[in-house]
Each structure stands twice: as C-alpha cells, then as structure tokens.
Chains A and B, each alone.
Chain A
Amino acid sequence: MPIDATFPRILPCGDAAATVEFGDTIDADLNVRVLALDLDLEASPIEGVIETVPTYRSLLLHYDVRRTGFCDLKCQLLTKLEQRSVSIGKPLRTWRIPVVYGGDFGMDLPAVAERHGIAPDEVVARHTAADYRVAMLGFTPGFCYLSGLDPSIATPRRNNPRQNTPAGTISIGGAQAAVQCLASPSGWHLLGRTPVRSFHPKREPVFLIKPGDAVTFFPIEASDWDRLDRAAAGGEPVAELMPR
C-alpha cells in the first residue's frame, strides 16, 4: 500500500473529543492500526482520556477537558504513534457463532447464490470457512462490522434497504459482513440468523463481542433455534469461546 503522508492525522471533533485517522478506506490493515492504538491506550492510558471508540479507519477519543486539552492530547498521541510497532498479535478471543442459514432465517441466500453462479450451500460454505475480525461496533448496540469476508461472495448493497430486519440477522453488504443484534433497517443481504445476543442489557457482560475479537460461523438446524434462542434470551452466551 502506498504511503499517504496525509495520515495518520489527529483532528478535533468539537472540544471534548479527537479523532486519530489512519486512512479513509475500509482496509483490514488500517483497522489493525486502529485496534493497536486502542490496545496501547488501554495498557498505558493518557491522562484525561475517558473513552475510546475504534472504527474502521480511525480511533475516536473522548476526553475530560478539565484534565487535558486537544494540543496536549495530540502531542502524546503522536509520541505513541512514533514509538509503537503496529501489531495486535493474535486476537484475544475467538467466538464460534451458530447460524441458521437460509429459508425464513436468511431470505437473501438464494439471490446471493444466484448472483455469484453458485449453489446456496456453497455460499454457506464460503461464509463459514472464513476467519473474521471485528473491525468495529456501531449503528445499533451490539452491531458488529466484520472484516475478512471471502471476496468471491462480496455483494453490493441492496438498492432498497428494508425497513425492518430481524434480531440476530447475519448479513453481508459490499465487502463487509455483520452480526446484527437488534431488529433494525438494513440494506445488506440476509444470509441467516443467530440466536446469540451480542448485546443483552440484563446480562453480565452486557456486550459479548468486542472490537478486535475474532469470529467464525457454523451452521445449525432450524429445529435448534427455539432452545438456543431461549437460552440466549435468558442471558447465556450461546456463542462458544474457542480455546487459545
């Protein structure tokens, strides 16, 4: 990738937040740099930084303006960026997420298959073969944007988004993949549903899947849905954590 001297750059977002931009595209390498800085700040915090929000290509920092200021913060960030080698190593956690594919659970599976000239089972095979990384969460609570989708099944977003897609939707849009938690509008293609709640306000932890986690999917039968859905609603993770 050519070096763009514009980046990284640090800009104010109002008077109580700053963004560190590593680029302006969706790119797994850019995201790794975002996550690396985020991990660095977790390990050696900068005084006054209250909260960080990693996104595809930038890290947003919220800070307490009575404990620091934009200029001080920018200096300290530049120092960190110069010192750090960019690596986040193996993901801390890898989740295996059960999915019921197709039928009523994934109404776009046949259309995606047809578009690529392959069988629906092959779409499922390619979707489940990949190792994904959670690049960020956003849009709604627990909505995970994943990098790592097999390019051979990347599919441009729908021209007409749907006003309502089900809770737990597993979808793809362009070159991105997602784990959706709450029902919401979506312009992506619905491949299946997971009973896993990445967000559950009454559970500890409230959020299960975090930026930087690795994710893989595996198929389950529709007949397993009710049992797993009830378990997840009751607060069980249902997703499996892989041993390191």
Chain B
Amino acid sequence: MTRLTVVSTGPITSVQDAGRIGAQRYGLPPSGAMDRLAMATANVLVANPHATPAIEIGPLPAVFRIDGGQVRIALAGAPRRIEVNNLEIEPNRSALVGDGETITIGFARGGIFSYLGLAGGIKGEPVFGSFSVTAGTGVGSPIARTLQAEDTIELVGTMAGSDLRIDPIASTSDIIRVITGPQAEEFGENLQRFLASEWQVSSASNRMGYRLKGPPIRHSKGHNIVSDGTVNGSIQIPGDGQPIVLMPDRGTTGGYPKIATVITADLGTLAQMPAGRTFRFEAIGIEEAQHLSRAYLNAIDSLPDRLIATSSLNANLNALHDANLAGMAINALDTQTWQASSPGTPDKSP
C-alpha cells in the first residue's frame, strides 16, 4: 500500500479539494483549496480530475516521503524549489517518486500556497462530498486537521502515465476585481475611498480571512448588521475600519457590513498575495464578473489542453523561447479577460 509520510511541514498544510456543498446552512464553511486553479494544475499534471483531493502546502518548507510503492506527483502554485530524491526538478511538471524517496519543497517565493497532486488521489471518507479539512472542527479526511510530522496518508497510488509538463496560467495581479455590496450603501462616499486606496495583506491572515492593511474605512451607519450569510471573497469592514476578506474556512454568517465581494476569477490571485505587496480593488459589473467567472471555470476544465508531453517539449523549446522574446506567446491566456490570444497578436501586458 503506497503511502505518504510527512517528515516535516509548516503549520497550515492540509488536505483540500474543491470543498463541501450543502453544509453552510449548518454553520460549516465549505473549505477547499485557496487557489483552485493551482490545485487543478497539480492534479491535471498527474492525470487526475482537477478537483481530486491534494495536499495544500503553506509558504514554509515541507518534506514528504513515499513508502510502499511509487507514485507520480506534481507541485503547482506559488513558485518554490522542489526536489525529488534530492534532485531538483523543474516547476510545472510531474515526476515519479520511488519507494523510500523524498519530496523536498522549499520556501514559497512570490506566493503563499502550493498544491501537491498525487496520481490516483488519496484514500479517505468524504463528508458532504469532500475531503476538505476545516481546522478546529474535526471535519476532513483522511486527517481532520493540519498535517504534522509523522502523519501518514494512504495513497491510491498510480504510476501509470508519463511525465508531463504544463504551460501554466499565470495569475498574479495587482488588481483584484470586486462587485460592490451587498451593504455598500452603508459606506456612502467611503466606498470610493475603499476602491481608490492601496491595500496589503497583513500577517494576521489565515484560511478564515485575510486582514488587510490600509486607510480605515468608516461606516455611515455603525459597524453591525443583523447577521447574514457570507461567501468566499466577502469583504467585511469591522469597527476598526480594516477590511477582512473572507476565505474558505470563514464563519458562514457574520454581523459586519460587507462593502464588496471579490469575484470568483480573482479569489486565487488574492489568496496568493504575499504580505507586503500592494494592490488595489476595482469594481466591475455583475455581467462582466459572471463572464469572467465562466471563462475562469472553463479555463480550469481546459487545463489538460495545456499539457505538453516531455519528449515533444525539448524539440520545441527554442521555438517557444524565440516567440516569448518577441512578445508573442503561443497559447497565452490573458488573465484579465481569460481569453486566449491567437498567435501573431501582441500579448497584453498588465
């Protein structure tokens, strides 16, 4: 039986997938990967369905060991060093890990979360259709808390297939798009101040919510509303005027007014925002946001189209290199519009 053992890891590593459906009405948040696109990329690289449970790894280093068999793995998300059996491997590709070999993952640079995809997935018992862990509640599978040294996870363990590379979709940006409301009217002119300001993610942030640093945003009417439902990306303004963007482990109801909501397509980008990087919010309309959301979800479904077999990659490396230098990217995906730009069209720069 192939298994993965945690040799060492930071404090926010856990099993996540696309999250639970149907339990928010009982006070249990959906949880799930903070960056769905990155999780999907790791899974697609090992020929898994894109929402297969994977290991979400925070910014600190981690070491895992595979025993009892071999398994194909892939890491996607925040840029960082990865070694298999002490040999560095390139990013955005899968690799076979042998019996007794280790996977060593370095500090994240320019991002927060990475996803370790394991071919065939993990053995466990779903709750509301999901393995996702909600720390502190005892929900999640196979280990219902963040992972620690000596934890062991049974793998389905598939070596079938071949090493693959992927042309990843880059999703860093200094603009996070939102739809205003549902309590935008409580802020009057301060809504414009919120949209015009520069923000940073503070270190007092976690999977429940990201606390932002910036100018205090005042309410016109006081900082309590009758508790109502929250969503991923709800931006609450509590009494101190510092926004909190709610994330997948959030409280499902809340009594702070919500000035705006991050659009689905930009949730992962915000989740990967390093503390100290400055960004702004941009308000867009519901039609545009839904168009972007559909394109984002379709892009995740189409990730297998971006796979490159490793044998054919070498032959085309020079061609790709030249194309990128000239500013024309083959198969580029513009993450402001989620539309593919065709060869010969200048790539839009952010």
Contact = CB atoms under 8 A, between A and B. Distances in A.
B141 to A, nearest CB: 10
A142 B27 contact: yes
Nearest to B24: A53
Interface stretch (A8-16, A104-112, A224-232): A8-16
Contact of B251 (A21, A51, A140): A140
Interface stretch (B44-52, B158-166, B290-298): B290-298
Nearest to A209: B26
A17 B297 CA distance: 16
Interface stretch (B256-264, B319-327, B333-341): B256-264
Contacts of A201: 127, 137-139, 144
A140 B27 contact: yes
Interface string B109-128: 00000000000000000011
Given A24-B226, A60-B231, A62-B231, A14 B179 contact: yes
A188 interface: no
Q: Is the interface of B mostly helix, strand, loop or mixed?
A: mixed
A166 B264 CA distance: 37
A217 interface: no
A145 B26 CA distance: 11
Nearest to A17: B231
A57 B226 contact: yes
B240 interface: no
Given A65-B294, A138-B227, A13 B182 contact: yes
Highest count of chain A CB atoms <10 Å: which of B128, B182, B225, B289? B182
B21 A50 contact: yes
B239 to A, nearest CB: 14
Nearest to B184: A11
A70 interface: yes
B27 A14 contact: no
Contacts of A13: 181-182, 229, 231, 234, 258, 261
B23 A207 contact: yes
B133 to A, nearest CB: 11
Interface in B276-321: 286-287, 289-290, 292-294, 297-298
B290 A15 contact: yes
A12 B179 contact: yes
A54 interface: yes
Given A24-B225, A56-B228, A69-B290, A137 B27 contact: yes
A-B pairs with the 7 shortest C-beta distances?
Answer: A138-B253, A60-B229, A14-B261, A15-B289, A207-B26, A141-B28, A137-B27
Interface of A: 11-17, 19, 21, 24-26, 50-58, 60, 62, 65-66, 69-71, 136-143, 145, 182, 199, 201-202, 206-207, 210-211
